[in-house]
């Protein structure tokens, strides 16, 4: 079998080259936001790497990463867990949603080095093709996707949403802050609003999550 890192290396080189070009183009117009502090950060070059140990899907994984590496990039580029997707890379689309200690987060907006000792669950840790997680099976059954790119994030988010409802965490649409929330369509739509689906499979996603919520109850 072909070593996956060979492909990755050549692809990364290409991306690095593209990034360098765009940086050069942007440099003359870039503002120096910190000039009031008397520092000139743009001229300072820091080469920093850090060791970090993260438990991913039950396995302890030790990494030596550039401090800039997001958890998302560590999962995809270092650990080759490409189920977690990079959409906007700015916390706006939810494609990168994973769970840390059971809580959903945007893995693009956190650094790998900040997660020493944390337990991360990705889509690969929820189920396998032969043994689907109930949420994965429900998405398949209800056709909760078209292109599938946002789906790993949708599924990780949905699993955590049902846990949040079980834990009694209210939402913007909960009429009574003190009552136990229920997995109604309105609640699911509000709670899933951080996961964008470009194909617009929302109604089928609600059906899938509703079915799993019903099984739980």
Partner 1 sequence: MKSFTYERAKTPAEAASAAARIPNAKFIAGGTNLLDLMKLQIETPTHLIDVNHLALDTIETTAEGGLRIGALVRNTDLAADPRVRRDYGILARALLAGASGQLRNKATTAGNLLQRTRCPYFYDTNQPCNKRNPGSGCAAIGGFSRPHAVMGVSDACIASHPSDMAVAMRALDAVVETVKPDGSQRSIPIAELYRLPGDTPHIETTLAPGELIVAVTLPKPVGGKHTYHKVRDRASYAFALISVGAIVKEDGTGRVALGGLAPKPWRVEAADAELSSGAKAVTTKLLAGAKTTRENAFKLPLVERTLSAVLDEARR
Q: Which stretch binds partner 1 (CB under 8 A): 10-18, 32-40, 55-63, 77-85?
A: 32-40
Residue 174 near residue 187 (C-beta atoms within 8 A): yes
**Smallest gap, in angstroms, from Cβ of residue 113 to partner 1?**
5
Can you tell me which of 6, 172, 175, 217 binds partner 1, judged by CB under 8 A? 172
Tell me if 114 contacts partner 1 by CB under 8 A.
yes
> Rounded CA gap, 127 and 133, in Å?
5
Bridge partners (DSSP) of residue 104 are: 99
Of residues 1 and 25, the one with the C-beta less far from partner 1: 25
Tell me if 24 contacts partner 1 by CB under 8 A.
no
Tokens 């059954």 sit at which residue? 141
Residue 94 near residue 195 (C-beta atoms within 8 A): yes
Residue 130 near residue 149 (C-beta atoms within 8 A): no
Tell me if 21 contacts partner 1 by CB under 8 A.
no
**Smallest gap, in angstroms, from Cβ of residue 34 to partner 1?**
6
Can you tell me which of 54, 74, 105, 183 binds partner 1, judged by CB under 8 A? 105
Can you tell me which of 56, 81, 85, 106 binds partner 1, judged by CB under 8 A? 106
Tell me if 193 contacts partner 1 by CB under 8 A.
yes
DSSP, collapsed to helix, strand or coil, labels residue 198 as coil
Spatial CB neighbours of 181, under 8 Å, sequence gap ≥ 6: 165, 168, 169, 170, 171, 174, 187
Of residues 44 and 131, the one with the C-beta less far from partner 1: 44
**Six-digit token pair at 79?**
């650990």
Tell me if 63 contacts partner 1 by CB under 8 A.
no
Please provide the distance, in angstroms rounded to a whole number, between the alpha carbons at the two ends of the chain. 45
- The 10 Å Cβ neighbour count of residue 156 is 28
Residue 171 near residue 181 (C-beta atoms within 8 A): yes
State the residues that interact with partner 1 by CB under 8 A. Answer: 26, 29-39, 41-42, 44-48, 50, 66-68, 70, 89-91, 94, 97, 103-106, 109-111, 113-114, 157, 160-161, 164, 167-172, 174, 177-178, 189-195
């Amino acid at each position: 079998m072909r070593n996956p890192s060979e492909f990755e290396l050549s692809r990364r080189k290409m991306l690095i080259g593209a990034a360098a070009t765009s940086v050069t183009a942007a440099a003359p117009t870039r503002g120096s936001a910190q000039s009031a502090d008397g520092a000139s950060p743009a001229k300072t070059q820091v080469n920093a790497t850090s060791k970090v140990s993260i438990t991913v899907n039950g396995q302890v994984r030790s990494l030596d990463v550039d401090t800039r590496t997001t958890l998302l990039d560590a999962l995809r580029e270092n650990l080759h867990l490409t189920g977690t997707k990079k959409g906007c890379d700015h916390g706006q689309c939810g494609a990168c949603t994973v769970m840390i200690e059971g809580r959903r987060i945007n893995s693009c907006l956190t650094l790998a080095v900040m997660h020493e000792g944390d337990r991360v669950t990705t889509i690969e840790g929820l189920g396998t093709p032969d043994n689907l997680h109930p949420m994965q099976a429900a998405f398949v059954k209800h056709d909760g996707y078209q292109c599938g790119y946002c789906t790993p994030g949708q599924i990780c988010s949905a699993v955590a949403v049902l846990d949040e409802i079980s834990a009694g965490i209210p939402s913007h649409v909960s009429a009574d802050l003190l009552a136990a929330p229920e997995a109604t369509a309105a609640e699911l739509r509000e709670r899933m609003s951080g996961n964008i689906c470009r194909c617009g499979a929302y109604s089928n996603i609600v059906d899938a999550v509703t079915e799993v919520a019903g099984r739980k109850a």
